[in-house]
Amino acid sequence: MVENFSPWAKYLFLYLLTNHRIGLTGVYEITDRVMLFDTGLSKDQLNEAKEELQAADRVRFYENWVYVVNAQKNNGYFGEKLDPAVKKEFNRIPKGILDTLSIHYLSGSDLLD
């Protein structure tokens, strides 16, 4: 649960969930340098927060890619009318990144379950 996270992990989680890069899928490219600049965290705080979020399977990190695990369900933007936009966004993500981060496309009907 998020309330059990350290203050740095909570802050990083909120940042990753709400920054302008997240899109509809919750998968996006971002560097540690950008996260450090945007959040003001130290490198050690960032690394500890990333480890904590990854251990709890809330966020997955690989190279310069981030996957906020339940972003699609939590953002509230789903439905058949959005499916083409979500599919288009997924198609822009390299297949190797999708496979490594274990990401699978969820259609609007999948999100309603």
Q: What is the CATH number of the domain that holds 57?
A: 1.10.10.10
Number of domains forming the structure of the chain: 1
Percentage, residues of the chain above pLDDT 90: 53
For the chain, what percent of residues have pLDDT higher than 70? Answer: 86
pLDDT of amino acid 16 = 96
- Mean pLDDT estimate for the chain: 86
Distance CA 84, CA 1 (A): 32
Q: 95 near 102, Cβ under 8 Å? A: no
Instruction: Return the HEC string of 35-67.
Output: HHHHHCCCHHHHHHHHHHHHHCCCEEEECCEEE
- Domain range for 27 is 2-111
